[in-house]
Structure 1
Amino acid sequence: MSDAVTPETKSARMTEFLRLLPLTIDLAGLPKAATGAVFTPDQIEGRAMSIRAAYKAARNLIKDVGENG
């Protein structure tokens, strides 16, 4: 059996991510950048790590609500 991800799986994951994005951003608690502000690569990576962690928390929250009400 192949470990390759099907296009359908990729599409479903992207749809899930986009649906959870508003909750994810709120959970990440990142301030909006000032107009014209430019982030360094390290700042961008730090923000991306915060969003990844918040996405995992959002998925777990939705899963828990679905299972336990």
Structure 2
Amino acid sequence: MTKCKADCLHRRRVRDYQEERIRQEDLARETANGWETEYREYLEEHPLITFHEWLKQTKNTPEPVEQEEAA
């Protein structure tokens, strides 16, 4: 794998993780209805995913095939 391809893959994985983390945070905020104690309780019951956990979960998923654009 070339350096450029590896960098792009890493960037995509980080972006995908960030999107999942934001989705989880938004869900926690919606569930809490603006209450700080409800938010903390939700996070205790449903901890937010870490990058390491996310990588382990997605490790065996196939990478999407990128199609080259015709020039």
Measured against the shorter chain, the TM-score band is: 0.3 to 0.5
Larger radius of gyration: 2
TM-score (norm 2): 0.39
- Pick 1 or 2: higher relative contact order, CA cutoff 8 A, min separation 6: 1
